[in-house]
Amino acid sequence: MLGVLSPLLNKVDVNKIFRIGPFNRFEKAERVELPNSTQTSVDALVQEVISRSSEAIGNSEFFIALVFEEFDNHLSEDEVSLVNKSGISTENPIGATEFYDENDELYCFVRAYSCNESELENVVRAKLARHLDLEPYYMAELFIVSSDGSKVINLYDERGMDIVWL
Q: What is the mean pLDDT of each run of 10 residues along the chain (166 residues)?
A: 90 90 87 86 92 90 87 66 80 89 86 90 89 81 93 92 94
Give the pLDDT of residue 97. Answer: 93
pTM of the model: 0.90
Give the pLDDT of residue 75. Answer: 66
Give the pLDDT of residue 46. Answer: 93
R_g over Cα of the chain: 15
Give the pLDDT of residue 72. Answer: 54
Give the pLDDT of residue 40. Answer: 83
d(C-alpha 162, C-alpha 104), whole Å: 20
Q: Is 36 exposed, middle or buried (0-12, 13-18, 19+ CB in 10 A)?
A: exposed
